[in-house]
Structure 1
Amino acid sequence: MIRTTGPSCTRRQLLTGAGALLLLTGCTGVPSTGTPARPVAFDAPLAIPPLAPSHVGPDGTRVFELTAQKGSTAFRPGVQSATWGFNGAFLGPTLRAERGEQVAVAVSNALDEPTTLHWHGMRLPAAMDGGPHQEVAPGRTWRPTWRIDQPAATLWYHPHPHGRTEEHVYRGLAGLFLVDDPADAHGLPSAYGVDDIPVIVQDKQFDDDGQLTLDSNRAEPGLLGSTVMANGTVGAYLDVTTERVRLRLLNASTARTYDVGFDDDRPFHLVATDGGLLAEPYGTTRVRLSPAERAEVVVALVPGEHLMLRSFPPNLGDVASSTAFGGTDTFDVLQLRAAPALRSSPPVPAALADIDRLREADATVVREFALASRLINGARMDMDRIDEVVTAGATEIWQVHSIDRLPHNFHIHDVQFQVLSIDGAPPSPELGGRKDTVYLEPGRTYRLIMRFSDHTDPKNPYMYHCHLLRHEDEGLMGQFVVVDRDSPRPTASDVATHRH
C-alpha cells in the first residue's frame, strides 16, 4: 500500500495563512453576524422549484437548458432585492434524469462576468465537471454531456469560478439535480411537490434597503446571515396532505452549519444522505448539515397539526468560538401545516438500499490531508498545480483532519466516499451511507474510503476543497487528476483551462 503525505511541512508552517495563528490563540475576529433572526410570521407558501423541461434528441440524449441571469426577488412584501438565478430571478429549476440516461445541459451565461456550473455529487468526466477550469464567458454557452451512472440521489448544481464561488452561490445561483434509478423500488414518498419536497436552506443578510449584503472582511467562517429561507421563501409554510412527507434538505448556505430537527423533538427517519439511500432508515431527532451536505428525511404528521422544521445549535466541535461561528444559533426554517384529513402513506421500509461496502484491505493508496485556515498540506490552491494523481479504478483511503480551530468541511469531486472511522471509532449511523461532503470537527481524523471511476483525463483536474465558500475562494482547495495506470505524471503545462 502506498502512503502519501503531501508536501513536507511543520504544524507552524501549516498555520501561517490568513491569520490562523491569531485564531488559534483565541482572536476569532468579528463574526459576520451570527445573530438569529427575529421571529417572523410563517405566512408565505413554500416556493417549489419547477421541474426543468427537457427534450430527448435523435441520439437519445436528454437535453436541458440553463441560463445564468440577473433579476430581482421580493423576499419581503414591497421590497425588490437584486438577485441572480438560473432561468429566473433566484435559484434554478430542478433537473431530473434517470440512471443510464445520456444527458446534456446547455449552460448559457447572461451575466456580465464569467461563471461556471458544477454538478455537485455527480460522477462524470472531469471536462464536464464544471469546476474552475470550465469557465463560461459572458454571452457564451457551454454544453457538457455525460451518462448518468450512479444510484438515485439528491444532488445539486452551483457555480465554481475560482475566487468567486461564494458570491455567485450567495446571489442565488443554485438548484437541485435529482437522479432516479428505475431499479430502485423503495416505497418512500415520491410525488414531487406533494409528499416529496425539495427544501433548499440558505441564510442571508439584508441592508436597510432590503438588498443582499456579502461582507468583504475576513470574518470567520464567512457570512452568517440573520435571515433563513427555504427555496427562497422567508417565513415559508407547506400544506401537507399525506400522513408522511419526505423532505429533501440541502444546505446551500455559504458558511453556516445547521442541526435540523422539529420544534417538538419528534423522531423522524433519515433515509438518504449526499450520495443516495442509506442501507436502512435511521431514527433520530437531529441531522447536522454543513454547507453542501444533503439529507432526506421522512416525518409523520397527524391531521390538523402545525409542525416547525427548526435548526438547533449545531455541535461544531472544538472550534475557537462556537458563538462567533453560529454554534449557538437557533432558526425556524419551514412550517408544516397538516390538512384536517390526510391521505394514508405506507410505513417507511425496514430496508432501503444495498450499499457496496468498500473494503479497507482493497485500498492501495493512503493519502493525508491536513487543513489549516486556507492551506491544505501547507499549500494554497494553484490553478496550474496538480496536487494528486489518482489511478483509474483504484480504491484509496484519504485521511483528512483539520488542525486549526475553525469550522471546515471536505468535499471531493467525482466520487461518493464512505466514512471508515473518526479518530479510530466507527462513524455514527447518519454517516453510514455514500457521502461527497463531510464536516470536520477540529482535531479529529476522518478516514474516507473511495473508488475512483474510469473517467481518465490527465489535462482536466477535479477539485477537493472546503465547502465553506469563503475558505474555498481564498485557497483551501486542491486538484487531482485521474489517469490510466501506465500514464506518466502530468505536469503544470498539461493542465487545461477552458473558456467557453
Structure 2
Amino acid sequence: MKTVKKVQIPKKSLINTNPKNRLKKAVFLVAGSLAIFVVLITVLAFIFAETQRPRFVNRDLLIQNKLLIPPLLEPRVIGQEKVFVLSAEPGETVFRDGKPTNTTGYNGAYLGPTLRAHKGDNVRILLTNNLSQPITTHWHGMHLPAIMDGGPHQEIAPGETWEPRWTIVDEAATRWYHPHLLHRTGEQVYSGLAGIFIIDDDNSDSLKLPKEYGVDDLPLIVQDREFSRDGQFVYELERKDALGHTGMLGNVILVNGTYAPFVDVPAKQIRLRVLNASNARRYNFGFEDGRTFYQIATDGGLLPSPVARTRMMLAPGERAEIIIDLSGETRPLTLISDAVHEENKVLRFVRTILRAERDENQVFKILELRPQPTVEVTETLPKLLNSVERLPAASAVRTRRFTLDPGSRSINGRRMDHQYVNEVIHPGDVEIWEIINLSGVYHPIHIHAVQFQILDRSGSPPADYELGWKDTVLIPNGQTVRLIMRFPEHSDANSPYMYHCHILEHEDIGMMGQFLVTDENISNKKLYLEPADRGPESDPSHTP
C-alpha cells in the first residue's frame, strides 16, 4: 500500500510586512491619539472656564487717600492764540508707605495739568524739556499737521523748548498727551509723563450734562505700577512669558497719581472721564454692586445716544466718558475693574497652564465715590447726544491690510525703522484698514492723525458703544477688525504720522509703522526719509 505524503502548506504570516500598510496604521494611531487629546483638552478647558474664580488682587485695600484732581492749566491769550506753558520735570512723589518715588511730570512731580480748549481755538504749546534725556510729547487723538504731532521725529533735547501750534478742529472729546520717543515711550510714560486734554464745542456746551470740572465732571487717569521694596517704580522693557513680550504690568493701582483713592461727590449725576493710561493692562470697569451706568462718549467724542452698561472694557490708550446717577445715595460706591478673560476657552486654559495669563482673571478696586448731600437737582440724561456721520464702506478709495505678527515685535513682518515710510496716503482720502491679529495675544491699535469708525469685528457689526469716533481700538487675539477713516488735508512729504500697538513696550520693541499724508506723487516702495529728517539711528532688527 502506497503511503501518501502530506504536504504542509505554510500558513500566511499574521505579521504585516508591507511598509505602506504599516505607515498607514501608524498614522491612524497617531491621528486617533491626537483627536482624543484635543477632545480631552477641550473638555477640560470648558470645565475650567466654568469653575475658575477670579483673583481679587487688592480686596483688603483700605481706601483712605483723597483723590488728586489734575489742575486746569490756564492759557495765556496772546493775539489770536491760547498759549499753554508746559515743562517736563524730574521730581519725587510719595504714593504709599511714606517712601518717596523718583518720578517725572509736566509742571510738577507726577503727571501733568489738564489742558482745555474749544473747537475753533488757535492753540500754541510752549513745552520745555527740563529732564536730562530727550523727550517728545504726542497730542493723542488730535487732528493736526504731522510736524506738530509730537511723534518720534519731533524730539526735544534737554534744555530745549518746542512750540507746536494748530487750530482745534476736533469735536468735544477727552484727549490726552504723553511722550512718544523711539524705544523710550513706555519708560517715560511709566515714570509719570502724561496728562488730559479736554475739547469742548457748541454741541457739548448746549447739552445738560455734568460740566463742573473736579466736582461733578472728574478726570480719572488710571494706571498700574509695580514698586520695589525701597518704594521705586519697577520697570522692565523686555518682560516676557511663554507667549512673548507681556508689556509692563503692575499690581498697584493709581488714579490721578493717588493710591487707594476716594472722592467726595454731590449726590446727583456724576460724569467720569476715564483714561486707561497704563502701559499694558486692560480694565473691565464697572461698579462693585453691578449697577447700571451710561456710556456717553468714546475716544473721539460723544456717542449718538447714551448706552446702558454694567461693564466697560478699556485697553491702553482708550478713553470713555460715563454718567453714574447718585441721586439720593448716601453710601460709598466702589468703581472696580472686573476680571478680563480670553474668549477662546482652550487658549485661556493653556495660558493658565503656561502661567501666561498676563492681565486676565484679576479684580481690582479702583476708586470709591462718596456721595454728599446737595441741593442741586439731577437733570434728565439727554436721549440724543451727537450726530455721528457714518462713513460708508463704498466711499473708501483703498483697503490696506495689516497683520499683527506673533511675538508682538512687528506689523506685516516689519519692525519700526525710523527712516522707512511704510505707507503713503493722499490728503482727504477715505480708506479702510483691515487689521488681522495672528499674534496669540491682544493688541490696542492707535492710528495718529485720524478718528476712525469700526465697520465690523470678524464680520459682526460693532456694538452700540462702539458707534462713535475712535483713535485706539482693542483687537483681541484671532479677530479681524475693519476700520474706516478720512485722512487729514495736511500735506507733508517729510514728516510722518505713526500707527502702532499701544501696549507701550510692544511699540518700543518694534510694533509700529509710519505713514506720510502727501499730495506729492511718490511711492512708498523702499521710501526713506531724507537724512536731514532723520532722528536717532534705528535698525529694524535692533533690540534696545
Fold shared by both chains (TM-score > 0.5):
yes
For the Cα contact (< 8 Å) 2:267–2:373, is it kept in 1? no
Partner of 1:169: 189
Work out which of the residue numbers 429, 436, 460 in structure 2 matches 1:425. 460
SS of 2:506's equivalent in the other structure is helix
What is the letter of the counterpart of residue 402 of structure 1?
Answer: N
Distance 2:59 2:101 in 1: 20
User: CA 1:149–1:180 in 2, change beyond 3 Å: closer, same or farther?
Assistant: same
Which segments of structure 1 move beyond 4 Å, counting only runs of 4 or more? none
Distance 1:214 1:354 in 2: 43
Work out which of the residue numbers 47, 66, 71 in structure 1 matches 2:91. 71
SS of 1:84's equivalent in the other structure is strand
Partner of 1:277: 302
Residue 83, structure 1, aligned to residue 119, structure 2: no
Shift of 1:324: 2.1
Shift of 1:315: 3.6
Distance 1:65 1:125 in 2: 20
What is the letter of the counterpart of residue 309 of structure 1?
Answer: L
Across the aligned residues of Structure 1 and Structure 2, the Cα RMSD in angstroms comes to: 1.6
Shift of 1:39: 2.3
Which protein is richer in strand relative to its size? 1
Residue 389, structure 1, aligned to residue 424, structure 2: yes
Shift of 1:272: 0.2
Which protein is richer in helix relative to its size? 2
Partner of 1:492: 528
SS of 1:135's equivalent in the other structure is coil
Work out which of the residue numbers 488, 495, 501 in structure 2 matches 1:453. 488
Which runs of 5 or more residues in structure 1 are unaligned? 1-33
Distance 2:90 2:433 in 1: 39
What is the letter of the counterpart of residue 123 of structure 1?
Answer: H
Partner of 1:50: 71
For the Cα contact (< 8 Å) 1:242–1:344, is it kept in 2? no
Distance 1:107 1:317 in 2: 43
What is the letter of the counterpart of residue 158 of structure 1?
Answer: H
Distance 2:267 2:120 in 1: 31
Partner of 1:190: 211
Give deviations 1:182-215, integer Å, cap 9, x for gaps. 3432211111001000000000000111111112
Give deviations 1:199-242, integer Å, cap 9, x for gaps. 00000000111111112443242121110011000111010114
Give deviations 1:381-439, integer Å, cap 9, x for gaps. 10110000011111000000110212211100000000000011101112111000011
What is the letter of the counterpart of residue 66 of structure 1?
Answer: L
Partner of 1:309: 335
Distance 2:421 2:534 in 1: 13
Q: Give 1:197-346 correspondences, 5 Å limit.
A: 197-219=218-240, 220-301=245-326, 302-318=328-344, 321=351, 324-341=357-374, 343-346=376-379
TM-score, with structure 1 as normaliser = 0.90
For the Cα contact (< 8 Å) 1:35–1:225, is it kept in 2? no
Which runs of 5 or more residues in structure 2 are unaligned? 1-54, 537-544
Residue 438, structure 1, aligned to residue 473, structure 2: yes
Distance 2:267 2:211 in 1: 12
For the Cα contact (< 8 Å) 1:325–1:407, is it kept in 2? no
Aligned residues: 464
**Range moving further from structure 2, 186-195 or 117-126:** 186-195
Work out which of the residue numbers 39, 61, 64 in structure 2 matches 1:40. 61
Partner of 1:20: none
For the Cα contact (< 8 Å) 2:418–2:535, is it kept in 1? no
Residue 468, structure 1, aligned to residue 468, structure 2: no
For the Cα contact (< 8 Å) 1:370–1:400, is it kept in 2? yes
For the Cα contact (< 8 Å) 1:243–1:342, is it kept in 2? no
Residue 95, structure 1, aligned to residue 126, structure 2: no
Distance 1:342 1:75 in 2: 35
Distance 1:217 1:480 in 2: 27
Distance 2:166 2:117 in 1: 12
For the Cα contact (< 8 Å) 1:122–1:414, is it kept in 2? yes
Shift of 1:488: 2.5
SS of 1:470's equivalent in the other structure is helix
Distance 1:146 1:324 in 2: 43
For the Cα contact (< 8 Å) 1:134–1:497, is it kept in 2? no
What is the letter of the counterpart of residue 42 of structure 1?
Answer: I
What is the letter of the counterpart of residue 233 of structure 2?
Answer: L
Distance 2:535 2:132 in 1: 18
Percentage identity across paired residues of the two chains:
45
User: CA 1:116–1:35 in 2, change beyond 3 Å: closer, same or farther?
Assistant: farther
Shift of 1:262: 0.2
Distance 2:342 2:180 in 1: 25
User: CA 1:217–1:382 in 2, change beyond 3 Å: closer, same or farther?
Assistant: closer
Residue 126, structure 1, aligned to residue 126, structure 2: no
Distance 1:144 1:268 in 2: 38
Higher alpha-carbon Rg: 2
Distance 2:102 2:261 in 1: 20
User: CA 1:85–1:215 in 2, change beyond 3 Å: closer, same or farther?
Assistant: same
For the Cα contact (< 8 Å) 1:261–1:309, is it kept in 2? yes
Shift of 1:42: 0.9
For the Cα contact (< 8 Å) 1:419–1:432, is it kept in 2? yes
Shift of 1:356: 1.2
Distance 2:273 2:493 in 1: 35
SS of 2:474's equivalent in the other structure is strand
SS of 1:167's equivalent in the other structure is helix
